[in-house]
């Protein structure tokens, strides 16, 4: 979760800062979404998925 700004886009950056300044409640909401995404893509979760794939391949041999 975040606010995308194209490279070298000063107006876009300004608009993003103003948006969050005027909508402070969005910061907390996006923070919670980011925490969930971190858990989803954490190394442990990725490693577990890979191990499960290898187990399925081994079973199907």
Q: pLDDT by residue for the chain (61 residues), tens digit each?
A: 788 999 999 999 999 999 999 999 999 999 999 998 888 778 888 888 899 999 989 887 6
How much is the pLDDT for 3?
86
Please state whether the predicted TM-score (pTM) of the whole model is above 0.85. Answer: no
Residue 2's pLDDT is 84
Burial 12-44 (b: 16+ CB within 10 A, else e): eeeeeeeeeeeeeeeeeeeeeeeeeeeeeeeee
In the numeric block, the tokens 């886009």 are attached to 9
Position 37 scores a pLDDT of: 87
| pLDDT given for residue 43 in this prediction | 83
């Amino acid at each position: 979760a975040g606010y995308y700004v194209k490279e070298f886009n000063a107006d876009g950056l300004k608009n993003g800062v103003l948006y969050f300044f005027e909508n402070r409640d969005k910061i907390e909401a996006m923070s919670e979404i980011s925490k969930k995404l971190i858990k989803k893509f954490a190394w442990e979760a990725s490693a577990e998925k890979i191990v499960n794939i290898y187990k399925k391949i081994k079973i199907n041999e």
